[in-house]
Structure formats: C-alpha cells, structure tokens
C-alpha cells in the first residue's frame, strides 16, 4: 500500500458523503494492522464491489454492443465520480474501464448447523456471495464506482510521472511535463470511446510513446503544444509540423457502425459522443472540458 493512496482514501472519508459524485467513488471502511511471522501488515477494509466494467464487457458483450441506456448511465456515473474527486483537487491518475466496478447489495447467507446447535469457535456467522455476478444483473442494477487509488494524488503532492496504460496516457505525462488532475480528463475521453465501441481510441498492441503520439496527432482536436514540439521532433524526426485532418469522428462511426454488431445508438447520438470525446482529447490540459462540464454535455443532458 502506497502512503499517498491511503492518504487520499482517508481524505475521501472526510468529504461530503451526501454529494451525488461520492456515490461513485470507492470508500475506505476501516484500516488495521496484523502482526505476523513476516512482519507487520497494513490491512484495508473497502466496499464490497462486483466485477469491473471491463469484466462485464468481456463476459457479456464480447461479440455484441452493450445496450445504449446502461452504457450512457455508466459514462455519467464515472464522470460524476471524477467530478467529485476534482472538486476537492484529487487526481485519480489511472482512470480506465478496469478501474471502474459495479456495486450491488451483497447477498449474505447465515451459517447454521443442521442440528441447531451453536457454531464451533472459528466458524463465520455468515457468508457473502462471490463478486462474479452475471453481467446482465450488473447492467439492470447498475451503479458504477471508481476504484484503485494506487496512482492517485492531491494537488499539493503531485508525482513526477504516472503509470497509466500507455494507450490512454495523457500527452503531458508522455512528454514529462508537470502534472495535475487534468490527466484524468484525457483518460476519461478514452474511457468514453471504449465504452461505446468496446475498444480504446488508440491501438494498445505493441504500443510505444512514439506510435501513441502519432495516433494522438491524428485524433486530438487541437495542435501539439509549441512547448512540446522540439521534444517530439527528437522522438520522431519524420514529423513535418502539420496536423493530419481530425479523424476521431470518422474512426468512431466506422468502428461503431461496423455492420457486424447491432447498434443501439442512432448516428445522431454517435455524433454527439464524438463531440464530447473531442472536448476531452485535447493536448493542452487547460483546454479540456472539466468533468463537471462534461456532465452538462448535450449527450448526457437527457439521461
């Protein structure tokens, strides 16, 4: 357990639990230490959560599109949780579908002897059903929570770099610039894209910083920041300085309307999704839409 992770989890406990966004952020319930033959171990008690969004997509929707309404709700809830973190100057640092999990009311069964006698010492009073819930159940009773705060940070304790998966890593992380919580906004754009079409906007196979930035240059809705251009030229000597025509909308529509999997969103909505993602996939952190602003986006406004 990293000390800054525990610090952030403790901070979350002190925040207003009545805020809507707090419902979509994993909570620390308790903390204690165990002394053993191998030393002292820190233990955390966290909320009981179901499978990650990635698990549900792979289990239930590997060969088809997830239904539109639950998908939109998942996007809205993840952004609500992110807005809650950012309101209090907390960056998650590793936002993606595997770090968002479904929440359900735990199924608890009382343990009892058939003969009605008291349980022997050491036996649990109850058992809790494992978290591998059926994917359809997760979607019907869905509530998303952002989990895994191993890369999280506060504005007064910002790390020099992050270890977000390369294909969803913000441009300022790749170029080694000073970071803040707006790295999450780039990752949120990638996450929304993936929730809609079941794959991230940038190729993750054999990804390197060079080929990821090359894809960014084709997709981001603004120009590469001047302060990064010289560094980029040392990474890719073939770069001419010109920007390829933005292809994100074309790529989004081509991937969603592939003629194989049934669509649940109309083309007009996919145009709105593309516009929302482009507000987040911007090189310049200050020009990205905030998490709160995305919640007011036209695509989410009627959800």
Alpha carbon separation from 91 to 5, 11, 41 (Å, rounded): 11, 12, 26
Alpha carbon separation from 222 to 217, 229, 279, 284 (Å, rounded): 9, 13, 10, 8
On the question of pLDDT at 1 being above 60, the answer is: no
Residue 28's DSSP bridge partners are 46
Instruction: Check residue 179 and give its pLDDT.
Output: 93
> Of the given ranges (100-109, 137-146, 196-205, 243-252), which has the lowest mean pLDDT?
137-146
| Predicted confidence band of residue 140 (pLDDT cuts 50, 70, 90) | low
Instruction: Specify the residue for token string 């929440």.
Output: 103
pLDDT per residue as tens digits for the range 173-184: 999 999 999 999
**Core vs surface per residue 237-275: b (16+ CB within 10 A) or e:** eebeeeeeebebbebbbebbeeeebeebbeeebbebbbe
Tell me what percent of the residues of the chain surpass a pLDDT of 70. Answer: 92
The number of folded domains in the chain is 1
Q: Which residues have CB under 8 Å from 48's CB, separation 6+?
A: 106, 128, 131
Distance from C-alpha of 130 to C-alpha of 282, rounded to nearest angstrom: 40
On the question of pLDDT at 17 being above 90, the answer is: no
Q: Which residues have CB under 8 Å from 149's CB, separation 6+?
A: 5, 8, 9, 26, 92
| Predicted confidence band of residue 70 (pLDDT cuts 50, 70, 90) | confident
pLDDT per residue as tens digits for the range 268-299: 999 999 999 999 999 999 999 999 999 999 99
Instruction: Check residue 128 and give its pLDDT.
Output: 83
Mean pLDDT to the nearest integer, 25-46: 90
On the question of pLDDT at 137 being above 60, the answer is: no
CATH code where residue 282 lies? 1.10.510.10
**Are 58 and 180 in contact, with CB atoms under 8 Å apart?**
no
- The pTM score is 0.87
Mean pLDDT to the nearest integer, 89-101: 94
**Core vs surface per residue 146-182: b (16+ CB within 10 A) or e:** bbbbebbbbeeebeeebebeebbbbbbbbbebebbbb
Distance from C-alpha of 237 to C-alpha of 271, rounded to nearest angstrom: 35
Distance from C-alpha of 248 to C-alpha of 187, rounded to nearest angstrom: 15
Tell me what percent of the residues of the chain surpass a pLDDT of 90. Answer: 51
Identify the domain containing residue 218 by its residue range: 3-301
| Predicted confidence band of residue 301 (pLDDT cuts 50, 70, 90) | confident
On the question of pLDDT at 139 being above 70, the answer is: no
> Of the given ranges (16-20, 27-31, 91-95, 176-180), which has the lowest mean pLDDT?
16-20
**Are 4 and 157 in contact, with CB atoms under 8 Å apart?**
yes
């Amino acid at each position: 357990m990293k000390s800054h992770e525990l610090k952030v989890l403790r901070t979350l406990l002190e925040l207003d639990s009545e805020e809507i966004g707090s419902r979509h952020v994993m909570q620390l319930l308790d903390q204690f230490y165990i002394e053993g033959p191998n030393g002292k171990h820190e233990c955390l008690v966290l909320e009981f959560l179901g499978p990650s969004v990635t698990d549900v997509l792979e289990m239930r929707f590997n060969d088809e599109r997830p239904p539109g309404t639950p998908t939109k709700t998942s996007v809205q809830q993840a952004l609500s949780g992110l807005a809650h973190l950012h309101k209090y100057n907390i960056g998650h640092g590793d936002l993606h579908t595997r770090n968002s999990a479904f929440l359900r009311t735990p199924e608890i069964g009382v343990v009892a002897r058939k003969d009605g006698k008291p349980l022997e010492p050491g036996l649990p009073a109850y058992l809790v059903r494992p978290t591998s819930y059926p994917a359809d159940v997760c979607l019907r009773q869905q509530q998303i929570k952002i989990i895994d705060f191993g890369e999280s940070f506060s504005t007064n304790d910002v790390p020099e770099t992050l270890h977000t998966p390369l294909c969803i890593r913000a441009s300022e992380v790749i170029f080694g610039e000073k970071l803040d919580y707006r790295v999450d906004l780039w990752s949120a754009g990638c996450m929304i894209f993936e929730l809609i079409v079941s794959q991230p906007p940038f190729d993750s196979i054999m990804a390197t910083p060079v080929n990821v930035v090359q894809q960014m240059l084709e997709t981001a809705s603004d120009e590469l920041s001047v302060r990064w251009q010289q560094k980029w030229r040392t990474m890719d000597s073939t770069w001419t300085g010109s920007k390829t025509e933005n292809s994100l909308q074309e790529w989004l529509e081509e991937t969603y309307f592939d003629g194989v999997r049934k669509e649940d969103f109309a083309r007009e909505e996919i145009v709105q999704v593309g516009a929302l993602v482009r507000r987040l996939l911007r090189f310049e952190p200050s020009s990205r839409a905030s998490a709160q602003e995305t919640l007011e986006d036209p695509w989410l406004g009627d959800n």
